[in-house]
Structure 1
Amino acid sequence: MPAKEHHKIFRSAWLRASVLGANDGIISTSSLITGIASTSYDYFTIISAGIVGLIAGSLSMAVGEYVSVQSQADIENADLQMEQYSLKKNHEEELEELISIYVDRGVSYDLATQVASQLTDHNALDAHARDELGILIHNRARPLQAALASSISFALGSILPIMISIIVPVWCLIPSIIVGSVICLAILGAVSAITGGAKIWPAIRRISILGAISMIIASFSGSVFEFIL
């Protein structure tokens, strides 16, 4: 007997939101702290800015993700209502539409007719949602889940550079945050790749290099603004 397959697509919704939140938390807060640390602000101001960035970013991620995913959910619900109405008013036309979908996928017309008829008798809306609209159970928009995952993961990601700022001496604050954050990003990339069943090294390289570039640019921008002002 072949081994049972364990697909990861069912994790895509919350995994995307979690990785996005944690990644944004690490990079945003690290960039904020390094940018301020490159100016003449005192140590208390630097730590305070990091904490405020954590709170503001976490709330922003929650609201932004909820609004975005809720918009997707509204579109899905509107399409499902439209499809439900059409199934009541144009039953035969909808059946032929389902048959043509299966025929286009390589199924013979007779078999496609049998399959479409049986699926329509079983649950017509589900059949059309899946095969006509591409709306599946595992990829339905879940606004609250996405908002909570993004907000919590952002806060957890932001804690890392803040803790580094508290622990290390001021004179090596910027390089310590950049190096520590890149390490955390690499770990995040590895965990997300393993959780999603993807290749580890491409994920690590992608997130680490882009994150390091963002933090280096932010630290230089702080010095530039201090020089200009």
Structure 2
Amino acid sequence: MFIRSRRDIIDGSTGRRWALDANDGVMTTTGAIQGFMGAGADMTTVSFAAAIVLITGALSLAAGTFAELAQERGHQRRAVERQQVLLARSPEEEFSDLEEHYSNLGLDAPLAKQVATQLTQRNALAAHLETDLGLLDPPPPAWQPWWGGFLTVLGFISGALPLTVTVLLVSEDVRAVASISVVVICLTMSGVVAWASGSGTAGRAIARSLLTGLFVAVVAFSAGLLLEAIDQFVPQIDVNRNN
């Protein structure tokens, strides 16, 4: 069976979400590693930093996704409950609102009334949720925010783990080249997935992913160099010194 389009390769929203989370993983880890290396940290410190960023970055991003989805689910549930109360309290007024909605869309009065009548008879609540609030589906189940957070963790780790493993396991004489290669490969893959999910053209998606990631690496390394230079001129303060 032939693939008819890129949308047959991967689900759009899932692919775009993974690409964003993976990019976060790559760029956050790259930024931390390059920053510490620019500041002159030894490889033990850099390795610990990479591992810590992998863990805390994934958890913090997952927490944000969970909070966002849970808040959206709560909003939808409150909207449904509010609409149910309105339908029970004043069904005639709600029917008139539905009829007026379709009249405003350009239907003549008899046809607008017919459409409103059929939709009300079929599912009045769904009709009003769609026309008034733009909700086409019922609120997601309670596990959906947890599942979204879990997928975010997987996306972040898939971007951060390759570079972290490279820093931890590759010998020092080839670590720099290997790290850059891993970053380029990961960013290219996330760009391909973003394109396959419907995000512009392949070349632009890959270029955007590479340029943003490499920009973060350069800025972080430069910031580390700056801090290292400042450290050479700022007197060290002994916090344990007795007054």
Q: Same fold (TM over 0.5)?
A: yes
The counterpart of 1:183, out of the listed 179, 182, 185, is 185
Which of the two has greater helix per residue? 1
CA distance in 2, matches of 1:172, 1:228: 29
Would the alpha carbon gap of residues 6 and 120 (structure 1) be closer, same or farther in structure 2, given more than 3 Å must change? farther
Match of 2:210 in 1: 208
CA distance in 1, matches of 2:153, 2:19: 11
**TM-score (norm: length of structure 1):** 0.86
1:130-141 alignment to 2 at 5 Å? 130-137=130-137
CA distance in 1, matches of 2:57, 2:198: 25
**TM-score (norm: length of structure 2):** 0.81
Secondary structure of 2:39's match? coil
TM-superposed deviation, 1:177: 3.1
Of structures 1 and 2, the larger Rg is shown by 2
Q: Does residue 41 of the first structure (1) align with residue 37 of the second (2)?
A: no
Amino acid across the alignment from 2:70: Q
Amino acid across the alignment from 2:89: K
Would the alpha carbon gap of residues 197 and 16 (structure 1) be closer, same or farther in structure 2, given more than 3 Å must change? closer
Match of 2:105 in 1: 105
Query: CA contact under 8 A between 2:61 and 2:152: conserved in structure 1?
Result: yes
Amino acid across the alignment from 1:150: T
TM-superposed deviation, 1:157: 0.9
TM-superposed deviation, 1:183: 3.0
TM-superposed deviation, 1:196: 3.8
Query: CA contact under 8 A between 1:34 and 1:177: conserved in structure 2?
Result: no
Mean alpha-carbon deviation: is it higher for 126-135 or for 138-147? 138-147
TM-superposed deviation, 1:178: 4.0
Question: What percentage of residue pairs aligned between the two structures are identical?
Answer: 28
Q: Deviations over 1:28-79 (max 9, x none)?
A: 0111111112222221221111111111111111111101221111111111
Query: CA contact under 8 A between 2:76 and 2:139: conserved in structure 1?
Result: no
Would the alpha carbon gap of residues 152 and 208 (structure 1) be closer, same or farther in structure 2, given more than 3 Å must change? same
CA distance in 2, matches of 1:11, 1:118: 33
Q: Does residue 70 of the first structure (1) align with residue 33 of the second (2)?
A: no
1:191-202 alignment to 2 at 5 Å? 191-196=193-198, 198-202=200-204
TM-superposed deviation, 1:218: 0.7
Q: Deviations over 1:88-110 (max 9, x none)?
A: 11211111211222222222222
TM-superposed deviation, 1:87: 1.0
The counterpart of 1:223, out of the listed 222, 225, 233, is 225
Would the alpha carbon gap of residues 73 and 138 (structure 1) be closer, same or farther in structure 2, given more than 3 Å must change? closer
Equivalent pairs, count: 225
